Amino acid sequence: MGQKQQPSADPRPDNKKKRRVAFSNIDTGIPAKDCIKIYLVSTKEEVGSTDSLCIDPVDLISFFEDEDGKIYGYPGLKITVWFSIASFHAYADIVFESTSDGGKGITDLKSALQNIFAETLVDNKDDFLQTFSKDVNFIGSVVADGEVLHPKASSNGQFNEAKFHLQAANSDLEVIRLPMDKMAGRNLYSRLVPLALLLIDGSSPIDVTDPRWELYVLSQKNNGQTHPRLLGFAALYRFYHYPDSSRLRLSQMLILPPYQCKGFGCFLLEVLNNVAISENVYDFTIEEPISKLQQLRTCIDVKRLQGFSPIEEAVCSAISQFKLGKLSKKISFPPLLPSPEAIEAVRKRLKITKEQFLHCWEILIYLGIEHDKHMEDFILAVSSRMRDDLIGETTDAEGKQLVDVPTDYDQEMSFVMFRSTNNATGVEMEESRANQAEQLKKLVDDRVKEIKLIAQKVSSDQIRSISKPI
């Protein structure tokens, strides 16, 4: 009987190897601030030298928002940007090990850099170096088409070189106004945009097609230089004010980093004050000034107010209130605010807004009182004014609370006030009042510190020391 033959085993060994699955490293990206360095240079010899001035941009994340502020696809990436403050062109030296898509794609570096430097970006290094000779008189040729403005000495608070001890007092400084309805102003501002974006917090380019914009350029002729050099600039907008006037608003102001802390910011701001006065605008305002600019502005305005006779009389009257006895022992006392007539006189003559004048008012009083005798009453007066401003009268303050909130602005000076609509118990109301009092005390303490700081700078003529990035 035959049997079914069973298949014999394969004597050959299994030579097949198991496949190994490898996963590439996920690209976590490089923060733009960690791989980009930007240097300001004034000569071609400075290009390539790390001894040149390296700036600290206010924010690079916004230019890489799609990538969460990071650059992807370039292991070992280093970007060195050289920005000429003579021709106002830029060149980027980009070095990396390789390019690879690690799951986040590959960042378009050229597009990202053009978002910052736009038309100032030069692709070829040799072409960039040639701009130092080709555009050596770029600033001189531009300002030649502008209107030269000169600061004026006056006893009513206008510019006075001796007052502010400008380091640049003996230099040939000029402020030139370039309206945006002319090509010279447009061309210059287009080259200044990268500096505005990198060094002015929260800035965006102005609309150069709007003729109501004006560019003010601070330049220096001599100081060993054959051609004038640009020290700083300001962009102002002229608003219509009914019925037949205008308002000037400072939107951007920058003193270039090599020239900061030398009094040039003070000089430029004083010239702008003079423009507002000589052209009899309604007032002169500043759009969302950062703390450094606000401090400089207040120091200058306090000096101007000290030389304004109607305010001298008002300040003396307010100071006399402190000599009538302890304010803390009185049931009520006047808020020590200037009269409406004084506020209007300051606006008409010095073009200082009511808000800015009131900001300076307490500093003027502080400078006039005897600190060893009247400091307690002065703090009480500041506290009373801030309580009325922020919370209101006692009968109107029930249920109101001050709440700290996360913010991109100065955390110590930011808060939200709201009124609770719920019926609170007696215990809850007491807790609310205690919390309110604690928060108010902190605000008052911060305000008194600010008053003392500015008063010290005004008294010692240290205004130039706060003329930093603005």
Q: Which of 293-307, 313-327, 388-402 is the most confident on average?
A: 293-307
What amino acid occupies position 331? Answer: I
% residues pLDDT > 70 (the chain): 75
Catalytic choice (45, 287, 398, 438):
287
% residues pLDDT > 90 (the chain): 58
Q: What size, in residues, is the chain?
A: 470
What is the pLDDT, as a whole number, of residue 303?
94
Q: So where are the chain's domains?
A: 30-133, 136-288, 307-412+439-459
Taking 60 as the threshold, does the pLDDT of residue 159 lie above it?
no
Contact 295, 306 (CB under 8 A): no
Q: Which of 17-31, 394-408, 451-465 is the most confident on average?
A: 451-465
Give per-residue pLDDT as tens, 243-270.
999 999 999 999 999 999 999 999 999 9
Band (168; pLDDT cuts 50, 70, 90): very low
Band (61; pLDDT cuts 50, 70, 90): confident
Say which DSSP state 209 is in: T
**What ranges in 231-353 are assigned the alpha helix state H?**
264-278, 291-306, 309-320, 340-350
Q: Greater confidence, 166 or 67? A: 67
Q: Looking at the domain 136-288, which fold is it?
A: Aminopeptidase (3.40.630)
What is the pLDDT, as a whole number, of residue 97?
92
What is the pLDDT, as a whole number, of residue 172?
85
Band (385; pLDDT cuts 50, 70, 90): confident
Band (272; pLDDT cuts 50, 70, 90): very high
How many other C-beta atoms can be found within 10 angstroms of the C-beta atom of residue 445? 14
What is the pLDDT, as a whole number, of residue 170?
46
Give per-residue pLDDT as tens, 98-121.
998 888 889 999 999 999 999 999
CATH of 30-133, one of 3.30.70.20, 3.90.360.10, 2.60.40.10, 3.30.380.10: 3.90.360.10
Sheet of strand 121-122, all strands in order from the earlier edge strand to the far edge:
53-55, 36-41, 78-84, 90-95, 121-122
Q: Model's pTM, two decimal places?
A: 0.81
Mean pLDDT on 296-307: 95
What is the pLDDT, as a whole number, of residue 463?
59
What is the pLDDT, as a whole number, of residue 67?
64
Say which DSSP state 23 is in: -
Mean pLDDT on 189-196: 96
Band (42; pLDDT cuts 50, 70, 90): very high
First to last CA, the chain: 108
Q: Which of 4-13, 52-61, 157-166, 351-360 is the most confident on average?
A: 351-360
Of 469, 149, 462, 468, the closest CA to residue 302 belongs to 462
Backbone phi, then psi, for 416, in 5-degree steps?
A: -125, 135
> Is 287 known to be catalytic?
yes
Contact 157, 149 (CB under 8 A): no
For Cα atoms 264, 269, 270, give the angle at the middle one, nearest 5 degrees. Answer: 95
